[in-house]
A and B are shown apart, each in its own frame.
Chain A
Amino acid sequence: MQTSELIEKLSSELRPVDRRIVPHVMLAALGIGTLLAVATVCLAYGVSLDLDHSDDLGLLVLKLVFTGSIVLITFSALLKLARPGQANRMGVALVFVPFVVIALLAAPNLMSVPDAWRNGATIGRAWPECLLLIPAIATVPFALMIWALRKAAPTHLKRAGAVAGFLAGGVSASAYALSCRDASLAFVACWYTSAIAICAVLGALLGPRLLRW
């Protein structure tokens, strides 16, 4: 077909479009994904909130601030990646800030523990569970987010996939934090970070396949 014919065809019967649809669909995906992740954790593992222990509560709040900030930063980066011409590296680099902060917070905590206990504090009891459950719970928010991104037009597929993985990992880690019985900052710094990194790597691998348009 000639290009001028094509232009003629494309511009005839042009229907109006909703330009707010991209953020709306992505917000809906994030909301539903979070609800489903929290529901899965609550139903399957129960919420282990021991509210009498103020230490535990403090740590839970800290965990949620950590995972919540990951969710917020990755979501805003993903909103940009969803549209052509807006992908910038700065937004993606911001994603790493919470990990650096938690590592810095955990470092003195880890140093103050006697040598003999240090391994116990990092490794905790539940690390295999943490490494498996966070990516497993992340699949549903990840699938929802990919569905939402397919309504948009990401142009850097690997990057968009990785950030979607980060986001899903953050959502899943927030939900998992509600039932996680390991109460140490070092544990969070080490294993939550690893679990979320796994999600991001899987996302980067899947992105180019799932997001093509």
Chain B
Amino acid sequence: MIAAQEGDGGAFKRLLQSLRRPLWGYVAGQLTCLGHNGSEAEDILQEVLIAIHKHRHTYDPAQRFTPWAYGIARYKLLDHLRRSRAAMAALPLETAGEMATEDYLGALESRVDAERLLAILPVHSRRAMKEVKLDGLSIAESAQGHGISEAAMKVRIHRGLKAMAAALKLES
């Protein structure tokens, strides 16, 4: 850290890399203790690293380094919790519970992804996939709606999934 204060980028990089795991462990541990899920840990860790960079002049070499770094981590963690609590308080009470339990953004993102992938399927296959996998109809209900047998429906879905998997592979 002292070398980093003097402008040694290499030393600072090594320092941040060695801090990364223990700090992540600390943040994630505290989050789970407080009943949050650990998904925010990486974001908070990044904020902590940025703060260590921005406030590197506040480290006093006469003092121990660990309490300084963890002091910053603790502050950023509490700051994050305060902000998310404020955001939660702004929602009406009935929806607050839902928001807390389901990963809303994650669900939205995967829905968007799924719709995009569905668009590349042939029309029969697409309708079958959408009804069964996204809208939650049973295979029997969907098969009836299309006027085909359940077995044929299963084949359509199987083909659709295969095509989507192939498309995903191509993309990545």
Contacts and interface: CB of A to CB of B under 8 A. Distances in A.
A155 B75 CA distance: 6
Interface stretch (A18-26, A110-118, A128-136, A189-197): A18-26
B63 A85 contact: yes
B9 A84 contact: no
A14 B4 contact: yes
Given A86-B71, A155-B72, A21 B53 contact: no
Given A3-B49, A6-B49, A16 B5 contact: yes
Contacts of B8: 14
Interface stretch (B10-18, B89-97, B145-153, B161-169): B10-18
Given A11-B12, A155-B72, A3 B6 contact: no
A84 B91 CA distance: 33
Given A3-B20, A85-B68, A86-B71, A14 B9 contact: yes
B143 interface: no
A212 interface: yes
Which among B20, B66, B68, B75 has the greatest number of chain A C-beta atoms within 10 A? B75
B59 to A, nearest CB: 7
Nearest to B57: A17
Given A11-B9, A11-B12, A16-B5, A86 B49 contact: no
Contacts of A155: 71-72, 74-75
Interface in A12-55: 12-19, 21-22
Contacts of A152: 55, 58
Interface residues of B, number: 38
Interface residues of A, number: 28
A46 to B, nearest CB: 42
Nearest to A82: B58
B18 to A, nearest CB: 10
Interface string B76-94: 0001000000000000000
Given A3-B42, A85-B71, A22 B57 contact: yes
Nearest to A87: B71
Contacts, number: 97
B36 to A, nearest CB: 19
Contacts of A13: 9
A186 B46 CA distance: 55
Contact of B49 (A7, A12, A213): A7
A3 B45 contact: yes
B86 to A, nearest CB: 12
Nearest to B1: A19
A153 interface: yes
Nearest to A157: B75
Contact of B69 (A3, A22, A85): A85
B13 A8 contact: yes
B12 A10 contact: yes
B59 A19 contact: yes
A1 interface: yes
Contact of B61 (A12, A19, A22, A213): A19
Contacts of A19: 5, 57-61
- Nearest 3 interchain pairs by C-beta: A84-B71, A85-B67, A85-B71
9 contacts: A3-B20, A3-B45, A6-B46, A6-B49, A17-B7, A21-B57, A84-B55, A85-B72, A86-B68
